[in-house]
Structure 1
């Protein structure tokens, strides 16, 4: 989420709309969550952990 910009009300910042960049990050994250959950439902927890617990570039 990042630090609140100066001049923003904290509640407005936290409860406000997502930026285009934040929406893209959420879209990628939800895609990964979907894949991980499907693997776990197939009883492939180890595969899910190995595939989705990797750090992405920039972390």
Structure 2
């Protein structure tokens, strides 16, 4: 991507243990998490279609990110949060985030996945601040 070799990972661990796979990959490839790691993940606190890029920060209640921070021993790594919105009333959270999106937001979510992909590519060649100013904005659905 953008002339750079990229490792795309989809950990085979449980989501809550994502840090185990990320830590092993970082160690194996001798990667610097602060400059060579980008984690993309769902965020129920953001409305569907919204993405937020951050260079560091807390897990914000996301157990997978909490485990990555724990396993790396640091919260300094790029992350792209993809808003899914809160679960519908009466739904189990796991069923919602692991299931199909309601038809009312499927197009919005597909577009946000494409924007997140472009943002990840941009983070490889542009300063994070510039990429954040381009992609960190609300989406109206």
TM-score, normalised relative to structure 2: 0.31
Contact 1:39/1:47 (<8 A) preserved: no
Alignment partner, residue 102 of structure 2:
19
Determine which of 31, 37, 40 is the counterpart of 2:114.
31
* CA distance 1:50–1:40, shift in 2 (3 Å): same
Q: Structure 1 unaligned runs (5+)?
A: none
Q: For this pair of structures, how many residues does the alignment match? A: 55
More strand by share: 2
1:3 aligns with 2:88: yes
Counterpart Cα distance in 1 of 2:120 and 2:99: 28
SS in structure 1 at match of 2:113: helix
Counterpart Cα distance in 1 of 2:89 and 2:130: 37
